[in-house]
């Protein structure tokens, strides 16, 4: 592939990532250079699909998502795309032989955002699998660099990490999801009347996911561990802030971690790794 065009595509994926998420951008920046572009490529791809279902309300979202899906598979098949984000993504998919079933599951969850406004237990688990867990599994393939035994060992922990990240996003974004998008993800929970007992049950469930995820993070290759662990610490801080407010506050404001606090996580993550606490 033309090197200039590939570099343009990789920069496009990086721009999408950095513009939409400072937290993930910091984590990716801490990955070793040889894998960094591939994670940008995955996140750029995921972000475009998210935008279709979350933001493009004045357009035919179903058509746009269908077209994006067909363009994705055409790019993977042909090994090239004139869509820079898809060109970056297909390169990663083909180079690391990412499982197409994970891509299928991702699009299935994105389609659920167009069709469903509330979830039962089964739909909730299916949504989290396709929207977050498979993304973690795609990244894991890159982190282990084709080591199937290590991938199989770390797979359940990567699933837990994706689940924790997504559930934190859900509880952080309760107000935006309900008011702006009309969505309620947590099953059997009346969001407008969320009580402290239910909030704590959700938080405990998330913490269990984090505890399991940390086992896997500690076994990641060192070229990936620093970045993933930093993202883990960021979401732990976010969960701590969520725990510190009452249930009613979650429907009034979006919980945030300021950029200065995010930067303070970098030396903490490095210190924990260097003294073998991780």
Q: Which domains does the chain have, with CATH numbers?
A: 3-274 (1.10.600.10)
pLDDT in tens, 101-138: 999 999 999 999 998 777 888 999 999 999 999 999 99
Q: For 89-93, 129-133, 199-203, which range has the lowest pLDDT when averaged over its residues?
A: 199-203
User: Band of the pLDDT at 179, cuts 50, 70, 90?
Assistant: low
Q: Mean pLDDT for the chain?
A: 91
Q: What's the chain's Rg over C-alpha atoms?
A: 18
Position with higher pLDDT, 180 vs 228: 228
Q: What is the pLDDT of residue 71?
A: 98
How far is residue 114 from each of residues 5, 14, 168, measured CA to CA in Å?
A: 33, 27, 21
- Give the integer Cα–Cα distance in Å for 231 and 225: 10
How far apart are alpha carbons 19 and 44 in whole angstroms?
Answer: 10
pLDDT tens digits, 50-69: 999 999 999 999 999 999 99
pLDDT of residue 252 exceeding 90? no
């Amino acid at each position: 592939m033309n090197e200039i065009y590939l570099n343009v595509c990789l920069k496009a994926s990086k721009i999408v990532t950095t513009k939409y998420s400072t937290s993930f951008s910091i984590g990716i920046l801490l990955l070793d250079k040889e894998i960094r572009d591939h994670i940008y490529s995955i996140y750029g791809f995921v972000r475009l699909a998210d935008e279709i279902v979350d933001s493009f309300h004045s357009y035919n979202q179903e058509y746009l998502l269908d077209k994006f899906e067909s363009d994705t598979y055409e790019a993977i098949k042909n090994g090239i795309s004139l869509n820079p984000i898809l060109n970056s993504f297909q390169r990663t998919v083909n180079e690391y032989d990412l499982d197409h079933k994970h891509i299928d599951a991702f699009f299935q969850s994105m389609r659920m955002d167009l069709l469903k406004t509330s979830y039962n237990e089964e739909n909730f688990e299916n949504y989290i699998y396709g929207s977050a867990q498979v993304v973690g599994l795609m990244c894991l393939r890159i982190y282990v660099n084709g080591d199937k035994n290590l991938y199989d060992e770390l797979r359940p922990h990567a699933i837990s990490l994706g689940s924790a990240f997504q559930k934190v996003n859900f509880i952080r974004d309760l107000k935006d999801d309900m008011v702006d998008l009309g969505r309620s993800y947590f099953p059997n929970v009346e969001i407008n009347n969320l009580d402290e007992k239910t909030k704590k049950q959700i938080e405990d469930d998330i913490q269990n996911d984090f505890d399991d995820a940390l086992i896997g993070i500690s076994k990641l290759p060192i070229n990936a561990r620093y970045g993933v662990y930093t993202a883990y610490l960021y979401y732990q801080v976010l969960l701590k802030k969520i725990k510190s407010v009452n249930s009613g506050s979650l429907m009034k404001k979006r919980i945030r971690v300021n950029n200065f606090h995010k930067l303070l996580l970098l030396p903490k993550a490095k210190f924990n790794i260097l003294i073998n606490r991780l």
